[in-house]
Amino acid sequence: MMNMRLRRTLPLLAAAMLVAQGAWAVVSESEAAKLGGDLTCIGAEKAGNADGSIPPFGGQWLGTPPGVAFGGLGKRHPDPYASEKPLFVVTAKNMAQYADKLSDGQKALLKKYPDSVSIPVYPSHRDFRYEDFRCDLTRKNAVSAELEDGNMGVRALKGGTPFPIPKSGDQLLRNILLPAYANQEDAVYDQAVVYPDGNVAWGRMRYEILDQTSDAENVGKPTEGIFAYARVTILKPERQKGEVMLTYTYFNEAKNPQTSWTYNPGTRRVRQSPGFGFDMPLGVGGFRTIDDDRLFNGSPERYDWKLVGKREMFIPYNGYRLEAAGIKYDALLKTGSIDSQFMRYELHRVWVLEATLKEGYRHQYAKRVLYVDEDTWNAVMADNYDAHGELWRTNFMNTYYAYGAKLFHAGVTVYHDLVSGAYLADRLTSELLAPRVNGDRLKPFMFTTDLLRQSGK
């Protein structure tokens, strides 16, 4: 088995090999000119599909849509499509008719839970757009952004999509890792592991995340140093209450691997977490991995990344219903998955990214397939396979356009274990206060180990 030092060194040794791949570093001026023309300003196809089931990109709404009463920071986002009904519902009985629009994970869930899981498909919408500064920076990145240090880092301008016209799996991955993020995420989220017998294990976490790509002081600067600070405080279960995890994530994992410290209220001590990230368990019951957050995050070093192409698929979209106040968890959490009546799927084009575990490296998942929305660069579904090539876990993330932040934000995310029959529902807020998406409370000085040591005072 390869030791950790060698694992860290290999990406640096491989950097020299990238010289031959220089053509992948940028696209030509003529190809970049498609941005804002045939392509949206961040790289999606503007045109709809042949039969009109995917509409052309509209982008007529920036911020709060007309006629929507949004209360501002820390308030719920009203659903602009609340009056719509499903066009049809995919079930275990008719799934063969729609097989080309479904992931392997969706098919597996429909087969395993024919009485409780379905896919309600609504009209597709492409109504929201990003701010002009993101478009301008993306256009600059298209002709200048580069991967560096064996694809372990990226040299681009903060605030823009690094590779709006991706040519490789590693470039596509960077778009997933650096979509348009909220500058600040300040929220309390509930978690629930639902077992086949109906028992539920509860968790609750306080998220304080400060992103370094979207605030006014950093927009347009090179991607150097710390990408994001994160402080996660466990509020439930009771036996872990008061534990705090502080994490620094960097733009270049070869130069600065993701680093984390943990405060333990029992000992009132702060310890650095060695080898943080990858498939370390996180959350109630250790049910999902560190790098499962937002379906993939952190260092790419353990996998070979392949850009498979594009597909038209039914994906979770405009998930406002799940963010609404008053939805009782008892009604939401059903056998096999969350209640399908609260889900909204739309037909969209997605990029398909395949990750295969490198020889000599270890991870719970030997293969991962990520499905990436072309309009946002958010990974919205993931299928994860075990060492025998069998589909083990399938996950999906709902997103919604956060009006004040003017970008798409991560909502309720569900991680399914197809072997055990249990699942984790994460980022639940319908019985809590709404998340604060952006704002100005969080500052870099708040994310220090000295302040972490004061957590128990």
Taking residue 62's Cβ as centre, other Cβ atoms within 10 Å add up to 14
State the DSSP H helix or E strand holding residue 396, giving kind and residue range, or none if neither: strand 391-402
- 237 preceded by a cis bond (ω within 30 of 0): yes
Distance separating alpha carbons of residues 441 and 180, to the nearest angstrom: 20
Sequence-separated (6 or more) residues with CB below 8 Å from residue 350: 310, 311, 312, 313, 315, 371, 372, 373, 374, 380, 381
Residue 3 — φ and ψ, nearest 5°? -75, 165
pLDDT, mean of residues 193-197: 96
DSSP state letters, 413-434: EEEEETTT--EEEEEE-TTSPP
Could you tell me what percent of the chain has a pLDDT over 90? 89
Secondary structure (3-state) at 240: helix
Which amino acid, one-letter code, is at 106? Q
The tens digit of pLDDT for each residue in 102-159 reads 999 999 999 999 999 999 999 999 999 999 999 999 999 999 999 999 999 999 999 9
- Our CA dihedral for 325, 397, 201, 276, rounded to 10 degrees, sits at -130
Domain ranges of the chain: 4-453
The tens digit of pLDDT for each residue in 220-278 reads 999 999 999 999 999 999 999 999 999 999 999 999 999 999 999 999 999 999 888 89
Q: What is the pLDDT of residue 282?
A: 86
pLDDT averaged over the chain?
93
The tens digit of pLDDT for each residue in 65-77 reads 999 999 999 999 9
Confidence of residue 457 (pLDDT cuts 50, 70, 90): low
Sequence-separated (6 or more) residues with CB below 8 Å from residue 156: 141, 144, 145, 146, 162, 174, 178, 222, 223
Q: What is the pLDDT of residue 456?
A: 59
Residue 106 — φ and ψ, nearest 5°? -65, -45
Angle at 267 between CA 265 and CA 272, to 5 degrees: 85
Burial category of 361 from C-beta neighbours within 10 Å (exposed 0-12, middle 13-18, buried 19 and up): middle
Whether residue 437 has pLDDT greater than 50: yes
Could you tell me what percent of the chain has a pLDDT over 70? 94
Distance separating alpha carbons of residues 249 and 457, to the nearest angstrom: 27
CA distances from 321 to 343, 350, 397, 421 (A): 7, 22, 14, 25
Q: What is the pLDDT of residue 26?
A: 77
pTM equals 0.93
CA distances from 64 to 215, 302, 332 (A): 20, 41, 27
For domain 4-453, the question of CATH label 2.50.20.10 is answered with yes
Distance separating alpha carbons of residues 190 and 424, to the nearest angstrom: 11
Burial category of 243 from C-beta neighbours within 10 Å (exposed 0-12, middle 13-18, buried 19 and up): middle
- Do 32 and 142 touch, CB atoms closer than 8 A? yes
Distance separating alpha carbons of residues 257 and 227, to the nearest angstrom: 12
The tens digit of pLDDT for each residue in 4-41 reads 443 444 444 444 443 333 334 579 999 999 999 999 99
